[in-house]
A and B are shown apart, each in its own frame.
Chain A
Amino acid sequence: RKEVEQDPGPFNVPEGATVAFNCTYSNSASQSFFWYRQDCRKEPKLLMSVYSSGNEDGRFTAQLNRASQYISLLIRDSKLSDSATYLCVGVTGTASKLTFGTGTRLQVTL
């Protein structure tokens, strides 16, 4: 079983829709989590950190459920520019050793 698992998608949603992704993790020692965004053929870029119960930044909300070992990302009022792959990342131990999920692809359409 992969340490961080995501539904690969793609999630196809119309502009203005609300979409949610889930990510499950198996290592209960994971201290914190990130959501990274990766555009096609580009490098990953940090979208949000998820340190405790959750985090909100504009249209984006990330939540952490330690009991069930999952992290979610909610995107409200989707824009065409939100089309990308969203990577769920777990952080375990020191030296910032990140464990990446394989990503969930989002396609926002007119």
Chain B
Amino acid sequence: NAGVTQTPKFQVLKTGQSMTLQCAQDMNHNSMYWYRQDPGMGLRLIYYSASEGTTDKGEVPNGYNVSRLNKREFSLRLESAAPSQTSVYFCASSESGDYTEQFFGPGTRLTVL
């Protein structure tokens, strides 16, 4: 039982390049989330998917798109990376949407030059 996995672990991009961060969970959870963590800012929600087939914007969605590919997988895409998107990205999942614990993946450290 791997829990929540993320790929890649590290990535360096040049401004304007695109990339997709992958996330998968094997806990049969309904809800999945993407966060970014920056020094002094705490974790901030980018997008979430309350259930398969639905996605919604979080606090900081600009510059990102998401796809809930199936119940297990939730990807985050940066279409045209900017230096302001340099951050650590965490994917998380939870059993349901209401007041339940979220389990986090190990994170992706992204640097945009």
Residues of B within 8 A of A (CB): 31, 33, 40-45, 48, 50, 56, 58, 90, 94, 96-107
Q: Smallest CB-CB separation from B109: which chain A residue?
A: A41
Contact-size category for A? 20 to 34
Contact B107–A96 (Cβ < 8 Å):
no
Say yes or no: B104 contacts A96, CB within 8 Å.
no
Given B40, B50, B98, B104, which contacts A43 in the complex, CB threshold below 8 Å? B104
A97 touches B45 (CB 8 A): yes
Report the Cα distance A43→B107, complex, angstroms.
Answer: 6
The answer for the CA separation of A46 and B103 in the assembled complex, in Å, is 8
Q: Would A97 and B104 count as touching, CB distance under 8 A?
A: no
Cα A4 to Cα B97 with chains together (Å): 20
CA distance A51 to B97 in the complex (A): 16
- Which residue of B48, B90, B101 contacts A97 across the interface (Cβ within 8 Å)? B48
Check if A102 is an interface residue, CB within 8 A of chain B.
yes
Q: Return B89 CB to nearest CB of chain A, in Å.
A: 11
With known contacts A43-B106, A44-B90, A44-B104, A32–B43 Cβ distance under 8 A: no
Known A-B contacts A95-B56, A97-B45, A98-B45; A46 and B97 likewise in contact (beta carbons under 8 Å): no
Q: Are A103 and B105 in contact (CB under 8 A)?
A: no
B42 contacts A95, C-beta separation under 8 Å: no
Smallest distance from the beta carbon of A46 to chain B beta carbons, Å? 5
A107 to B99 CA separation, bound complex (whole angstroms): 30
Cα A54 to Cα B99 in complex, Å, equals: 16
Pair B105/A44 contact, Cβ less than 8 Å: no
Chain A nearest CB, measured from B84 CB (Å) = 18
